[in-house]
Amino acid sequence: MSLDIYKEIILDHYKHPRNFGHLPREGTVAQVNNPLCGDDITMELEITNNKVVDIRFHGQGCAIAIASASLLTEFAKNQKLTTLTTMNKDSMLELLSVELSPNRLKCALVSLEALQKAIKTHGLHT
């Protein structure tokens, strides 16, 4: 696929984020802020048997931060916690399918940091 298609996917996830909002019932929650550009993402996870069965995010941020959170929540559903705790910047870049500058990379990673922080809060330590 061309780079333009990937940019369109990012814009679509920014304008129409998937899994945006709150879980219907209380879950494990973690919030992370990127002070460089004001991204503020909160992840809410419903975890059963060390697997994410439902996930939501809310907050505000640039297009990359919101699109990354949207893509990450789609990927994270039904994944084992151990799979999600081993994700890194390369995993996020693969989800986004675009190259990012170092400053934009921080925007893409804020949602992963929030997800992994929530997992640690739940009790699984890597």
What would the pLDDT profile of 7-30 be if each residue is shown by its tens digit?
Answer: 888 999 999 999 999 999 999 999
**Residue 126 pLDDT more than 60?**
no
pLDDT value of residue 98: 83
Which CATH number is 42's domain given?
3.90.1010.10
Domain count, the chain: 1
**Residue 46 pLDDT more than 80?**
yes
CA torsion sign for 1, 79, 63, 17 is positive
Q: What distance lies between CA 10 and its chain's CA centroid? A: 13
Q: Could you please report the per-residue DSSP string of the chain?
A: --HHHHHHHHHHHHHS-TTBS--SS--EEEEEEETTTTEEEEEEEEEETTEEEEEEEEEE--HHHHHHHHHHHHHHTT-BHHHHHT--HHHHHHHHTS---HHHHHHHHHHHHHHHHHHHHHT---
Confidence of residue 2 (pLDDT cuts 50, 70, 90): low
Give the range of the structural domain holding residue 17, as residue numbers without chain letter.
Answer: 3-122
pLDDT value of residue 28: 95
Q: Are 18 and 70 a contacting pair, CB within 8 Å?
A: yes
**Residue 124 pLDDT more than 70?**
no
